[in-house]
Amino acid sequence: MDSDNFRPSRRQFLGVFTGIATVAAAPVYSKTFGFLRQAGDIRRIRMYSQRTGESIDTIYYANGKYIPEVMAEISYFMRDWRQNAVKDYDPRNLDILAASSQKMDTDEPYLMISGYRTPRTNRMLRGAAQNSYHMQAMAADVRLRGRSVNQIAGAAKSCNGGGVGTYARSNFVHMDCGPIRTWRG
């Protein structure tokens, strides 16, 4: 074929255009969702709370949608236990937590240290950010027995899904679905 006289068909041209448009329109969370899609796009979360004694091990997304009843259970689990206040938990942060867990190739449940926080609870906590994503039910502070904070933070950072704070002295990692940024506490 002579490359100087190559003229793509309309179908080839539209195929290239569609591919470019798809990449240009890809969401910020594309790496997180893409990684989860590789697993058949069934999303599962495993966590426990020493504060309440509760645990959760559930599939929260299947067949292309979040499961409302399960999301309600997760929101209750992630509640501000100090005030017994519940707010709808942002599923995008669950996706970051689930993708991070898969990237670390672990079935171990996260120890959930802090999920949703009321403004009152947030003010009580020394060093908490004044505009914390915890108050919007968009953040979680977690740890794993079998992984270091650096391993957990590395997996979360590779998702490019939001903020990742590494708190080595306190032995936990903060993950949120706000803007992409990193810090050490």
Local structure of residue 108 (DSSP, 8 states): P
pLDDT in tens, 124-165: 998 888 899 999 999 999 999 999 999 999 999 999 999 999
pLDDT in tens, 20-48: 333 333 334 445 555 455 556 899 999 99
Domains and CATH numbers, the chain: 28-184 (3.30.1380.10)
Question: How far is residue 5 CA from its own chain's centroid?
Answer: 49
With a cut of 60, say whether residue 55 has pLDDT above it: yes
Rounded Cα distance, 41 and 52, in Å: 30
